[in-house]
Chain A
């Protein structure tokens, strides 16, 4: 494979994408919504910051600085939480829009035959197309992040080095998510003879992995874990020690719930002790099954990793609901370490589809 030929294809594809009406319209919409949600996020951040300052002043006034409870300073990464939901919907649509007819259109217009008659290998063409698409999505993502950072600066919010790193990681993770659907669209475009069919197949996969899969995961978890254990009849004196966190996604919105109502400790009652253990095992079993099925869903992986970046503490609570030993705030690296399987899944998913595209394109009948 020669780089000059690869880049020639990639350059043309990138240029086609960023000048296409379809790309410009969806990107425009994405940026407008991004700007609005960042603005909302900044307002929320400012409110939280104000509340935090108020809290500190109150504590100082009453001469009780930092003895029992320390309020947490809001992170500017909260601003980016709102980006997650529209990124999964509009971003996903953008990725599909640039990928679904990348190969099928060339088959329909017969330009592929003309292209292949010139000295270029098939792998250079398909890799160039992938590279051009990745470049266009990277461009869209960079633009969205640049606008977000510009807005932060306009509102006099200057990210620290760590926050800046987190913003970049968030951008990379979001790009990884976009690539997942771009890869699906590219595969379908290679497999289908017509662009219309390619789009339909891609949308079917999009909805299957974004909505059906998490739903089936939850159903499978219910089926395999069985019924939850019965609580003893005598009520204990509740002493909450653990947290049970459930995370579900539906229709492009992510809802995370943190509660402290399931696990109780401190009771000497053996029946309750047994119940606590059974309940913990039950929840972990359910969680394991649904986590495994969620690994196949780019949306769920994206949510999990993006939360780890934007809100490491919530992410730690989701990852280890029973772990009460560490009270120190989780750092970015630590939070990312806990979701390494989701990061790996975000890499493996598009890679698998790119590999399928490659194989199909290399064997494609071009008569």
Chain B
């Protein structure tokens, strides 16, 4: 549904997005991760036809965006980061203004707007958009992104201004929209947020795609190269004696606890050895790197 080929955007001689090759399938909830300034918003602006790439191409539903941005805009919805509205108009008037660009007749507009305002809990709000809180604006932003019932939804830092209740509602809404078969592209620098809703992710760092796949695949791909070594955490009730095994590379000891780095998984042999020595094993497990740690390391690279 979304595809980029060597997509590049250069600002003042500096690449903001550098040869990005990305593919997001239909109906996916894709998390676009990366630290601030990695090029996420620039990528979205190119995908939504709001800026032209310096090089490469991008496609949405098979349409090359730079060639026909209007056709792309008709099938997508976009919630910008720090979304803005016309402060002198109500939420309903703002939505009505945007809806007119889709050739919807008055009845259609009225029904759709009422439905969306109810969806984002802004129905019955008579205030002008200029008086909205940031959270209300974010919710209205979501409504404006859905005004044309889009096939693809781009959400840029969607939970940035939401309170916990708003975040929970947003997650439910995203799941609901994904259930309708929409492709959802969520850009965020908050891993926990993406983790909650996204099935696949791409990690962007310094304008380049560092990894793409499921969270586990990406974490594995980004994990620091440690040969084939495994880390085994061992904890016994008694003080841990010396452990010997030809596969052991090194051991970090801490009283009755140790992290054993070995060439392969020697948990069976270790358990047998400790049992023979009359020790009571409280814990023995393989230590997987924390996804957060892996991503943080990738951000810093």
Name A's B-contacting residues (CB within 8 A).
4-5, 8, 12, 16, 19-20, 106, 109-121, 365-367
Contacts and interface: CB of A to CB of B under 8 A. Distances in A.
B187 interface: no
Given A8-B100, A8-B101, A117 B48 contact: yes
Interface stretch (B70-78, B194-202, B205-213, B292-300): B70-78
Contacts of A113: 50, 80, 83-84
A78 to B, nearest CB: 41
A5 B98 CA distance: 10
Contacts of B77: 117
A5 B104 CA distance: 12
A298 to B, nearest CB: 30
Contacts of B102: 118-119
B51 interface: yes
B275 interface: no
Nearest to B48: A117
A108 to B, nearest CB: 8
Contact of A110 (B41, B45, B80, B147): B80
Given A8-B100, A8-B101, A118 B50 contact: no
B131 to A, nearest CB: 13
A20 B48 CA distance: 32
Contacts of A367: 41-42, 45, 51
A366 B45 contact: yes
For B41, B74, B86, B88, which residue has the most chain A Cβ atoms within 10 angstroms? B86
Nearest to B130: A109
B141 interface: yes
Nearest to B82: A110
A119 B70 contact: yes
For A4, A16, A109, A121, which residue has the most chain B Cβ atoms within 10 angstroms? A109
B154 to A, nearest CB: 8
Interface string B39-83: 001100100101100000000000000000010011001101011
B50 A116 contact: yes
Nearest to B96: A12
A111 B42 contact: no
Contact of B85 (A114, A117, A118, A366): A114
A271 B220 CA distance: 105
A97 to B, nearest CB: 15
7 closest A-B pairs by beta carbon, nearest first, are A110-B84, A117-B78, A119-B73, A111-B84, A109-B84, A118-B101, A8-B100
B98 A118 contact: yes
A114 B98 contact: yes
A116 B48 CA distance: 9
A5 B82 CA distance: 25
Given A110-B83, A118-B98, A365-B51, 8 more contacts: A106-B84, A109-B86, A113-B50, A117-B145, A118-B147, A119-B101, A119-B102, A120-B73
Interface residues of B, number: 30
B98 to A, nearest CB: 5
A121 B100 CA distance: 14
Contacts of A19: 88
Nearest to A12: B97
Contacts of A112: 84
A3 to B, nearest CB: 12
B103 interface: yes
A112 B98 CA distance: 12
A109 B87 contact: yes
A366 B86 CA distance: 17
A107 B78 CA distance: 17
A67 B38 CA distance: 91
Nearest to B16: A367
B144 interface: yes
Contacts of A4: 103
For B41, B42, B50, B87, which residue has the most chain A Cβ atoms within 10 angstroms? B50
A12 B141 CA distance: 19
A120 B99 CA distance: 11
Interface string B145-166: 1011000000000000000000
Contacts of B45: 366-367
B149 to A, nearest CB: 13
A360 to B, nearest CB: 16
Contacts of A8: 97, 100-101
20 contacts: A4-B103, A8-B101, A12-B86, A16-B86, A106-B84, A110-B82, A110-B83, A112-B84, A113-B50, A113-B80, A114-B84, A114-B144, A115-B98, A118-B73, A118-B98, A118-B147, A119-B101, A120-B73, A367-B41, A367-B51
